[in-house]
Structure 1
Amino acid sequence: MAADAIRLDGKVAIVTGGAGGIGFATASLMTMRGARVAIADIAFERAQELAASLPGALAIRLDLEDEASIEAMVADTVSHYGRLDILHNNAALLGPDIAANDADVEHMATALWDRTYAVNVRGTMIACRAALPHLRAARGNIVNTVSNLALQGHMIQAAYSSSKAAIIQMTRAIAASHGVHGVRCNAVAPGMTMTPALKEAFPPALMKAVQDETLRDQLGDPDDIAEAAAFLASDAARNITGQVLVSDGGCSAHVPGIAAFRNFFSGEH
Structure 2
Amino acid sequence: MGRVQGKVALITGGASGIGLSAATLLAKEGAKVVIADFNTAGAEEAAAEIQKAGGEATGIFLDASKEESIRDAVEFTVNRYGLLNVLYNNVGVTNLQKDLDVVNIDLDEWDRLMNVNTKSVLLGSRFAIPHMIKAGGGSIINTASMAAFAGDALRSAYGASKAAVVNLTRYIAAQYGKDRIRCNGVAPGLVLTPAAKNNMPPAVLDIFEKFNALPYHGEPDDIGYTVLFLASDESKFITGQTFQVEGGHYMANPSIADFNAYMAQAQSK
Query: Residue 59 of structure 1: SS of its match in structure 2?
Result: strand
Query: Residue 267 of structure 1: SS of its match in structure 2?
Result: helix
Query: Residue 53 of structure 1: SS of its match in structure 2?
Result: helix
**Within-5 A mapping of 1:64-79:** 64-79=64-79
**Within-5 A mapping of 1:86-235:** 86-94=86-94, 98-138=95-135, 139-235=137-233
Letter in 2 for 1:75: E
> Residue 255 of structure 1 corresponds to which residue in structure 2?
253
- Tell me how far apart the structure 2 counterparts of residues 205 and 105 of structure 1 sit (CA, whole Å): 26
- Tell me how far apart the structure 2 counterparts of residues 17 and 268 of structure 1 sit (CA, whole Å): 48
Query: Residue 220 of structure 1: SS of its match in structure 2?
Result: coil
Letter in 1 for 2:26: M
- Tell me how far apart the structure 1 counterparts of residues 219 and 266 of structure 2 sit (CA, whole Å): 29
Deviation, structure 1 residue 23: 0.5
Deviations 1:112-162 (A, max 9, x none): 000001111111111110000111222101000110110111111111111
Letter in 1 for 2:22: T
- Tell me how far apart the structure 1 counterparts of residues 200 and 225 of structure 2 sit (CA, whole Å): 24
- Tell me how far apart the structure 1 counterparts of residues 263 and 7 of structure 2 sit (CA, whole Å): 50
- Tell me how far apart the structure 1 counterparts of residues 151 and 143 of structure 2 sit (CA, whole Å): 18
> Which range moved further: 52-61 or 76-85?
52-61
2:9 aligned residue (9, 13, 23): 13
2:47 aligned residue (36, 51, 60): 51
- Tell me how far apart the structure 1 counterparts of residues 72 and 266 of structure 2 sit (CA, whole Å): 57
Letter in 2 for 1:204: P
- Tell me how far apart the structure 2 counterparts of residues 110 and 153 of structure 1 sit (CA, whole Å): 19
Give unpaired runs (5+ residues) of structure 2. none
Letter in 2 for 1:23: G
Deviation, structure 1 residue 259: 1.3
Determine what percentage of the aligned residue pairs are the same residue. Answer: 40
- Tell me how far apart the structure 2 counterparts of residues 30 and 261 of structure 1 sit (CA, whole Å): 42
1:27 aligned residue (14, 17, 23): 23
- Tell me how far apart the structure 2 counterparts of residues 229 and 267 of structure 1 sit (CA, whole Å): 42
Query: Residue 189 of structure 1: SS of its match in structure 2?
Result: strand
Query: Residue 14 of structure 1: SS of its match in structure 2?
Result: strand
Query: Residue 4 of structure 2: SS of its match in structure 1?
Result: coil
Query: Residue 266 of structure 1: SS of its match in structure 2?
Result: helix
Deviations 1:61-85 (A, max 9, x none): 1001111100000000000000000
1:42 has 2:38 as partner = yes
Deviations 1:214-241 (A, max 9, x none): 0111010101010111111111111110
Give the root-mean-square deviation of aligned CA atoms.
1.3
Letter in 2 for 1:59: G
Deviation, structure 1 residue 60: 1.4
Give unpaired runs (5+ residues) of structure 1. none
> Residue 245 of structure 1 corresponds to which residue in structure 2?
243
Deviations 1:27-68 (A, max 9, x none): 000111111110000000111111111121011110011111
Structure 1 moving runs of 4+ over 4 Å: none
Taking structure 2 as the reference length, what is the TM-score of the superposition? Answer: 0.94
How many residues of Structure 1 are paired with residues of Structure 2 in the alignment? 262
Query: Residue 186 of structure 2: SS of its match in structure 1?
Result: strand
Deviation, structure 1 residue 268: 6.6
Query: Residue 142 of structure 1: SS of its match in structure 2?
Result: strand
- Tell me how far apart the structure 2 counterparts of residues 268 and 194 of structure 1 sit (CA, whole Å): 34
Query: Residue 68 of structure 1: SS of its match in structure 2?
Result: helix
